Structure 1
Amino acid sequence: MKNSVKSYVINIFIVTSLTIVALWFALKDNYQEVITMISGMKSYWLVLILFWGIMYSCISGYVLTIFTRKNKKDYRFREGLSNYLVGFFFSSITPSSTGGQFAQAYIFKKQKIKLSDGASILWGDFIIFQTTLMIYVTILFFLRYSYYVEIMGGILLVFILAGYGVNLAIIVVLWTMALFPKLYVKLSGNVVRILAKFKIVKDKEKTLVTWSEQVMSFTKEIKRLHHEKMLILKTAVLSVLRMSVQFSLPWVIANALGHPLGIEYLLDCLALSSFVMMANAFIPIPGSSGGTEFVFTMLYGYLLQDSALASSIMILWRFSTYHFIMIAGAITFVILKHKYTKERIKERGI
């Protein structure tokens, strides 16, 4: 437990440090312009920008609620939202977002959802979102292929395309895993045994059991989804909606800062924001801190031809979609932890 807490503290320190570095990078050449631009914004715009981040979380929580109601009919939206927020918080403070699903599985268990069902729900949400994301990004990229290649150029283009390749590979692996689960269990068993010989994996048997359970949970959810076409359609549409909400926020912020972008810029904002998400696949740091801000500022700096405006948008966008939601997730976790502790004490009659 102490090691876990220490790890989280270190990761939070890393996130904070890299955020400060990213802010320095964004502000070093035009500090006064950025501060003037943000401070001159009307307060109602700030409320709208924060609401935009909350809206994404609410849609994500609703998607979880839809999936979970297949196992628990009376599962409430607020339970789905709190589950998502806790998952977001732990994803934000662990490398490559590895802690999010474990935290969500814990919350599911406390919400009277079996661990196996919780794992299946998370797999279902993940594969629908990931598949929809790749279709979404691919369409956006090819709508203005030559222009986006020009914007990204050089190493940034390679970085984003490599991230796209990683995300595409994840989808291919997931779907082939669904079709050939026994083969994957066998192959993963061989990999674990090799890693165990090099002392990379400490508990070979536990790792093998965990992996087998994960593959079986995933396969179970895929088989269930095969017969739930309306569920797939509904969650896919909601996934498109939540992506559009997140990716369109820079366009909203630019207008809020007094630099009105015409509707013709909306498509470009959707595309560039999605490219930032692709690049995040190569940033294993908690919250993809530092790299996300850098890629965003570079892409939008080229699009807007105004580095101060791009930096101002980045600061507000990142706060709304990451820092604000991470804080909300941390508060939610503390409240739920206190609630579950009280329930446990009550059950023991203490």
Structure 2
Amino acid sequence: MKLNKKYLFNIVLILALTFVAMYFALKDDYKLAMQALERMNTFNMILVLSWGLLFTMVWGISYQILGAKYKKNYSLLEGINVAFIGNFFAGITPSSTGGQIGQIYVLKKQGISYSDGASLLWADFIIYQTTMMIYVTILFALRFTHYVNLSAWFWIVFAGYLMNVVVIVILYTIAIFPVFYLRLIDKLLNVVSRFKFFKKREAALVKTKDTITRFTKEIKHLSQDRVLIVKCMLVNIVRLSLHFSLPYFVARGIGIDVHLNQFVDVMALSSFVTMANSFIPLPGASGGTEVVFSLLFRGMFGALTGAVLLLWRISSYYIPMIAGALIFIVFKNRHDHQPDSEDHQDSDQEDPVELLVEDQAVIKEEIPIVSSIKKAEQPA
């Protein structure tokens, strides 16, 4: 029950921060925003609200492609389940840290071992992060000089971009120079172990070595399958395009006069919101996401920025997260009596979140690499 309270607190925090942020975004133009939403036809409303489900399902295609390496006839539906459930747990945990634990749990139930599941998640992370940074770099190059002069807040966006670049650089240099990083970490642990609060130097070193070894192995293994890399990169390009273009279609749907030549501007600003979220460690980046969106899009959408923000946030975050929660409950109930659930014979009476957290300790102990995967890919 204690663990349930933790997740419940995160959900309440998400709702509270979102409410406060939405209040300030809408308080001056509330009537205009509501009138715009009322004028929106049913088809446009359904299209916009289902948009987040669409790019989450596209994410599932990546998992289907990668999952086929480890399990014969791994289906698209299985990949979509991994995407939605990962999205749910990432959405209710700070800095999306719960997403990968949820995903590796699901992969295990689908017949993919913890170690193979960890390798799959590393491959997904590496390909996605690389694709995203190439994509965002192009958008930065196209629109950086224009937007850098519009708001002092833009430098927060740029700092988030640089932080993501640093992550990519570190990952690839670890793969190229693993021995250097192991020596560096050993020296750092020697320094830190002098303090009384740090008594597990050897355990930390073993886990770090294991993480680097597995990561290096996965990079080398992945580099040999160029067809798989290209397929996953193409899927991620589609996914990112859907994600970044959503505000454009929301704006069109509520009657804002945005032209086709502003499409790239909208995608650029949307990608900048994603970059800024790197500094928001709260569950779902709640509160900060709404503020950054309002600041960046105010110049384009004017008084109706709040209306666009409301639909965009519901579509890209809340609906996929709720769908992920429902899918997880159904998934858990269907897999209760399968062989690999034998450690949880009484799971019929257990809460889905409690069941996951029980396995989380096992996953982190057996596969320390999973604890090191930090994704920026969950939709803002």
Q: Pick the TM interval, shorter chain.
A: over 0.9
2: CA distance, partners of 1:268 / 1:63: 27
Maintained 8 Å contact 1:69/1:75: yes
Aligned position for 1:91: 90
Aligned position for 1:336: 331
Which deviations, in whole Å up to 9, do the C-alpha atoms of 1:7-49 show, x marking residues without a partner?
2122112111111111111111111111121122111111111
Residue 9 (1) aligns with residue 4 (2)? no
TM-score, normalised relative to structure 2: 0.85
Which SS does the other structure have where 1:342 is aligned? coil
Aligned position for 1:46: 45
Maintained 8 Å contact 2:17/2:287: yes
> One-letter code of the match for 1:131?
T
1: CA distance, partners of 2:77 / 2:196: 43
Which SS does the other structure have where 1:144 is aligned? helix
**Structure 2, gaps ≥5 residues long:** 347-380
Residue 315 (1) aligns with residue 310 (2)? yes
Maintained 8 Å contact 2:148/2:155: no
Kindly state the Cα deviation for residue 199 of structure 1 after the two structures are TM-superposed: 6.1
Q: Relative to structure 1, is the Cα distance of residues 61 and 250 closer, same or farther in structure 2, using a 3 angstrom cutoff?
A: same
Aligned position for 1:185: 182
Aligned position for 1:21: 20
Kindly state the Cα deviation for residue 205 of structure 1 after the two structures are TM-superposed: 4.7
2: CA distance, partners of 1:311 / 1:342: 47
Q: Between the two proteins, what is the percent identity of the paired residues?
A: 42
Q: Within 5 A, what are the aligned runs for 1:39-118? A: 39-118=38-117
Maintained 8 Å contact 2:273/2:292: yes
Kindly state the Cα deviation for residue 111 of structure 1 after the two structures are TM-superposed: 1.1
User: Is 332-341 or 167-176 further displaced after alignment?
Assistant: 332-341
> One-letter code of the match for 1:264?
N
Aligned position for 1:218: 215
Aligned position for 1:283: 280
User: Is 180-189 or 104-113 further displaced after alignment?
Assistant: 180-189
Maintained 8 Å contact 1:119/1:217: no
Maintained 8 Å contact 1:124/1:218: no
Kindly state the Cα deviation for residue 166 of structure 1 after the two structures are TM-superposed: 0.6
Q: Relative to structure 1, is the Cα distance of residues 76 and 8 closer, same or farther in structure 2, using a 3 angstrom cutoff?
A: same
Maintained 8 Å contact 2:143/2:268: no
Kindly state the Cα deviation for residue 79 of structure 1 after the two structures are TM-superposed: 0.8
User: Is 246-255 or 214-223 further displaced after alignment?
Assistant: 214-223
Residue 240 (1) aligns with residue 237 (2)? yes
Which SS does the other structure have where 1:279 is aligned? helix
1: CA distance, partners of 2:115 / 2:57: 24
Q: Relative to structure 1, is the Cα distance of residues 44 and 114 closer, same or farther in structure 2, using a 3 angstrom cutoff?
A: same
2: CA distance, partners of 1:329 / 1:74: 23
Which deviations, in whole Å up to 9, do the C-alpha atoms of 1:132-173 show, x marking residues without a partner?
11111111111133212123x21x122111101110000011
2: CA distance, partners of 1:128 / 1:241: 14
> One-letter code of the match for 2:119?
S
User: Is 202-211 or 70-79 further displaced after alignment?
Assistant: 202-211
> One-letter code of the match for 1:223?
K
Q: Relative to structure 1, is the Cα distance of residues 346 and 315 closer, same or farther in structure 2, using a 3 angstrom cutoff?
A: closer
1: CA distance, partners of 2:186 / 2:3: 27
2: CA distance, partners of 1:254 / 1:9: 33
Kindly state the Cα deviation for residue 117 of structure 1 after the two structures are TM-superposed: 1.1
Q: Relative to structure 1, is the Cα distance of residues 19 and 239 closer, same or farther in structure 2, using a 3 angstrom cutoff?
A: same
Match of 1:326 among 298, 321, 324: 321
> One-letter code of the match for 1:93?
I
> One-letter code of the match for 2:330?
I
Cα RMSD over matched residues? 2.1
1: CA distance, partners of 2:165 / 2:86: 23
Maintained 8 Å contact 1:83/1:108: yes
2: CA distance, partners of 1:266 / 1:70: 37
Kindly state the Cα deviation for residue 342 of structure 1 after the two structures are TM-superposed: 3.2
Q: Relative to structure 1, is the Cα distance of residues 42 and 164 closer, same or farther in structure 2, using a 3 angstrom cutoff?
A: same
1: CA distance, partners of 2:89 / 2:341: 28
2: CA distance, partners of 1:78 / 1:44: 26
Residue 255 (1) aligns with residue 257 (2)? no
Which deviations, in whole Å up to 9, do the C-alpha atoms of 1:201-247 show, x marking residues without a partner?
67555444433333222222211121111111111111111100010
Which SS does the other structure have where 2:48 is aligned? helix
Aligned position for 2:357: none
TM-score, normalised relative to structure 1: 0.92
Maintained 8 Å contact 2:109/2:341: no
